[in-house]
Amino acid sequence: MSTTDGSAELIALQSVVAGRFSLERELGRGGMGIVFLARDVALDRPVAIKLLPLDFSRDPALRERFLREARTAAKLSHPNIVPIHLVEEHGDLVFFVMAYVDGETLGQRVRRAGPVPPSAVRRMMQEVAWAIGYAHERGVIHRDIKPDNILLEKGTGRALLADFGIARVVDASAMTDRREILGTVHYMSPEQACGEQVDGRSDLYSLGATAFFALTGRLPFEAANLPAIIYQQVNESPPRVATLARATPARLAEAVDRCLAKEPAQRFQSGEELVEALGAVGDVARVVPPPVRVLTRQLRDAGVALGIMGSVTFLFIFVMGDDLLAMLPTRPLMLMYLVGFVVVLPTLFLSRLFRATRAVLRAGFSAEDVWNALLAEAREIQEEDAVRPGQGNMEQLRKGQERWIRWAPAIGVFGILAVANGIATGDVREMLIGTVAAIVAVVQWGAGPAVEADSPLRVLNLAERLMIGRFGKWLLRIAGVGLKVPDRVPAALDQRTEIVLASAADQLFDGLPSDVRRRVPDVPAVIQHLQRDAEALRKRETALRDVLARVDIGVSAPTDSGRRQVGVEIEAARAKAQSRMESAVVALENIRLDLLRLHAGVGSHDELTADLEHAREIADLVDAELAASDDVERLLSGRGTPSQPS
């Protein structure tokens, strides 16, 4: 939680939602609103709150339209639409609460790392097309689809569409006054840019422009001013995707080009039609978690290096043959090369691979995650090969690799026999060639078993094949020895609300001038007291809920009055614990808010003193509640629960 975010909007909004939501920090702002990361106190989960700018909220027409359409969007329930939990207005504050998506927008992804792989773009288009198709069937047109309104969930790569219906708040006459809308106009359909009536096909145009940007890293139309952009959209055709992103598969490029057709009748007529044109969802790639991505990158680099070094060494030994041993004492560089390749390089390779594999397992990922990452990479390579010259030569090399894997046992036997015969006859060349053959056989056997001709895994290099083959299974087993797999949920999102609030309040207090801190020295103690009380009450509420579920006591059951009475007692104790816990969280929130106001220069010492006194009263009530726990402990232990009939 930010300790310096004391903006007037945050303070005003926090004052309104205190006790229900705890604002942590600002996530971003634009012409259409300010988004804050917050926590739902009752459900103890992260949420995002979007606040309508005050100059919009004070306009009755815009305010009413915002509320009406936000409530319409809140009725949409789809796995690729960011759900809106509630919409509220309090004076000049108009806002809605939506699910928090841990990740980044598509726009941030492109600006950070450049164009997106075609397989990931295809998945994004499919998922957004599903979302808008679902909304169109219910009469809702988005009208503001763009990269910054598409969220990519970390870990899964799922695309979620945000701000459904919110763009309707601003009409065409306001475009020239809003920088945010100036950015949006690059993705508008020709009919929308001209102010004409739009339907769902306009959203598909915007999705095509978004995919164009994701694939190429540039906009379909670029000009110095708004009229020039609108002129291009209405009168000029955008460049074909395949001319700017040559690795894009033909089917995907054609789909994007068709979405960008000038006439709506020439585009896809529905989101479902676009999904069907893009093909099965199983063909798309996943976003690979960073630890797994590091491992796969090292495998790919190692495969190239080992291939080059192995080929050079084999030729070197084959050509030099019997003269090799005689030359080594007089050629130190040659000796260093052989020792480096035979001993040092494999040792370094195995050491790095072991550390990277252990890091993957330590982060909580599994062998299946590694396999899926390599499979995703293989599919991307397949897509690029489809438009890359020399595909026939690559296919021949892959067939050769499969033959080597199948013949690995025979090659190994040949190598052993060659080494034995070389020793018997004193033939150095035969011994060296036999040794290399045996090593190659072991490596190829570790990369096995061979895969079918239509498998994407054929495109992987030798090091990557080792990871998904017999060698990889062995390595993952060894690397996982002694590791304790941690919780993969990010700690910042997994912490309890009271812990986050107390930590933020402590940091805010530490940041105050020393003379202010001396006037209220007991603030840290009160914060810690409230945190402990809230944690204890939350545990009690959870335990009582579990007891209620475990013994299946219905508070409205028509039979067995004894069981029904116990159910009533447990539910009453649970509700009381939850109420006290929420009171402690609210007291913590008020202290944090007072400290935020002091940092912003709009608070007073008297307000903080009053809230501290109120917090002490709540802490005393909670302590009394925790002390008088005989009845609750009896219920938790089950001593007061009648046995259920057998």
pLDDT digits (tens, 9 = 90+) for 541-552: 777 777 766 655
- pLDDT at position 3 is 43
| pLDDT over threshold 90, residue 260 | yes
Predicted structure pTM score: 0.53
Is 494 one of the catalytic residues? no
| pLDDT over threshold 60, residue 174 | no
- pLDDT at position 591 is 84
Give the residues across from 33 on adjacent strands: 30
- pLDDT at position 147 is 93
| pLDDT over threshold 60, residue 638 | no
**Parallel, antiparallel or unpaired: strands 103-105 and 93-99:** unpaired
Going from N- to C-terminal start, the domains of the chain cover 8-99, 103-283, 290-479, 495-637
- pLDDT at position 265 is 92
Tell me: the pLDDT tens digits for 553-567?
A: 444 444 456 666 777
Higher pLDDT, 244 or 628: 244
CATH architecture, range 103-283 = Orthogonal Bundle (1.10)
| pLDDT over threshold 60, residue 632 | no
Least confident interval from 43-52, 206-215, 560-569: 560-569
| pLDDT over threshold 50, residue 464 | yes
Q: How far is CA 369 from the centre of its chain?
A: 15
pLDDT band at 77 (very low <50, low <70, confident <90, very high): confident
pLDDT band at 145 (very low <50, low <70, confident <90, very high): very high
- Active-site residue among 144, 148, 506, 611? 144
pLDDT band at 285 (very low <50, low <70, confident <90, very high): very low
Average confidence (pLDDT) over 230-243 = 87
- pLDDT at position 211 is 95
Label residue 545 left, alpha or beta by phi (over 0 means left) and psi (-120 to 50 means alpha).
Answer: alpha
CATH architecture, range 8-99 = 2-Layer Sandwich (3.30)
Query: How many Å apart are CA 88 and CA 91, to the nearest integer?
Result: 10
| Residues contacting 37, CB < 8 A, separation 6+ | 23, 24, 25, 26, 27, 46, 47, 48, 100
Neighbours of 139 (CB within 10 A): 8
Q: Does residue 367 contact residue 476 with C-beta atoms inside 8 Å?
A: yes
Higher pLDDT, 157 or 344: 157
Average confidence (pLDDT) over 128-144 = 87
Counting other chains too, the contacts that 311-317 makes at CB distance below 8 Å and 24 or more residues apart are 313/338, 313/341, 313/436, 314/436, 317/429, 317/432, 317/433, 317/436
Common-topology check for domains 8-99 and 103-283: no
Average pLDDT, rounded, for the chain: 75
Higher pLDDT, 77 or 429: 77
